[in-house]
């Protein structure tokens, strides 16, 4: 496979790992504080917003990795195009 596919796949795997780790890092204290009754409404909204952003990033990275793999299967070895648009 082409070098561009390997770079994209590696980036997506690291992205998935990043979002997974930070999601767990936010979920553990959130659940602990929620069970202890230490969260007020504003804190709860902020924490849930952060968790929602992390879940969105995780799902997006997984979907883009699938798109990249699917495109790599259909393209010739040198014709791979990244699923992300050029800036």
Q: How many CB atoms lie within 10 A of CB 22?
A: 16
Q: Number of folded domains in the chain?
A: 1
Q: Given its phi and psi angles, is residue 2 left (phi above 0), alpha (psi -120 to 50 degrees) or beta? A: beta
Q: Which mean pLDDT values do the consecutive 10-residue runs of the chain (87 residues) have? A: 63 85 89 89 89 90 84 65 58
pLDDT score of 56: 92
Residue 83 lies in a domain: no
pLDDT score of 87: 58
Residue 86 lies in a domain: no
Residue 85 lies in a domain: no
Overall pTM surpassing 0.85 (yes/no): no
Residue 28 structural domain: 3-73
Residue 78 lies in a domain: no
Residue 84 lies in a domain: no
DSSP 20-69: HHHHHHHHHHHHHHHHHT---HHHHHHHHHHHHHHHHHHHHHHHHHHHHH
Residue 7 lies in a domain: yes
Residue 81 lies in a domain: no
């Amino acid at each position: 496979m082409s070098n561009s596919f390997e770079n994209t796949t590696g980036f997506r795997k690291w992205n998935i790992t990043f979002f997974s780790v930070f999601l767990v890092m936010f979920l553990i204290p959130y659940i602990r504080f929620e069970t202890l009754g230490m969260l007020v409404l504003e804190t709860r909204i902020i924490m849930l917003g952060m968790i929602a952003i992390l879940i969105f990033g995780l799902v997006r990275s997984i979907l883009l990795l699938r798109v990249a793999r699917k495109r790599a299967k259909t393209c010739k070895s040198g014709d791979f195009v990244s699923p992300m648009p050029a800036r």
